[in-house]
Amino acid sequence: MISLQELCTYLDDLLEAKLIKDFCPNGLQVEGKKEIKKVAVAVSASLKTIELFVESGAEALIVHHGMFWNRDDYAITGTKLRKLQLLIENKLSLLGYHLPLDFHKELGNNYKAAQDMGWKDLQPFTLYEGYPCGVMGTFSPISVQEFQDKLETYYKHPAHVALGGKERICSAALISGGAHKQIYDAVRCGVDCFITGSFDEPIWHAAHEEGIHFMAMGHSATETVGPKAIGQRLHEKFGLEWEFLDVPNPF
């Protein structure tokens, strides 16, 4: 058991939450019970996720996509009202870490995935406000089909691909979420494959014209990595029970 304040301070410091310019507030978003025995982690603070959180027996929910964004309407109505009602009525806390949970070089959505998949020579890939937001690395030469199979197994999600490169590859760059436009950064870095979550019509042409492989593994699927890593870290550090709230999302 730890206090809510200890939890917030630890995660804010670990993820450098107050240093990274973001599109949303990072850290505590809704305050609940003062003592935490169990945490739930998830990708997004959707209504379904919060309903599962209420049922989970956890006191705090840590998500990648929180409830509040810079251009939100100030009015608390509809679904947002229902979410807040559930949290407040059950005295539950919500914490959100967006870009900090992408950027972290140990527990983040990008570096953790690259490490899990055995990439070597990891280096920062492309910058946002001076912070590296992705990772690139190398691996033993492999056919592009074998590489796609590995990604689909890791993320448990089918790939949308534009295979514009060579048959065997040995390097890749990764940015989780909605980063398909960064394909040109991958081209400039000279990697064989660019991996992200989202895709759009022009990317098909870009991949074939620039001679690079592109693989979109799902915005949500690529952002399950960091929340799970945070849950495991809190268990190891404080002995907290944790649960990943798996709300299927094919996008």
Q: Is the pLDDT of residue 130 over 90?
A: no
pLDDT in tens, 48-104: 999 999 999 999 999 999 999 999 999 999 999 999 999 999 999 999 999 999 999
**Domains of the chain by start residue, with CATH:** 2-102 (3.40.1390.30), 104-219 (3.40.1390.30)
pLDDT in tens, 155-180: 999 999 999 999 999 999 999 999 99
Q: Is the pLDDT of residue 213 over 90?
A: yes
Q: Is the pLDDT of residue 131 over 90?
A: no
133 pLDDT band (50/70/90 cuts)?
A: very high
What pTM was estimated for this model as a whole?
A: 0.96
Closest CA relative to residue 97, chosen from 3, 176, 152, 156: 176
Residue 38 · residue 58 · CB < 8 Å: yes
Residue 47 · residue 82 · CB < 8 Å: yes
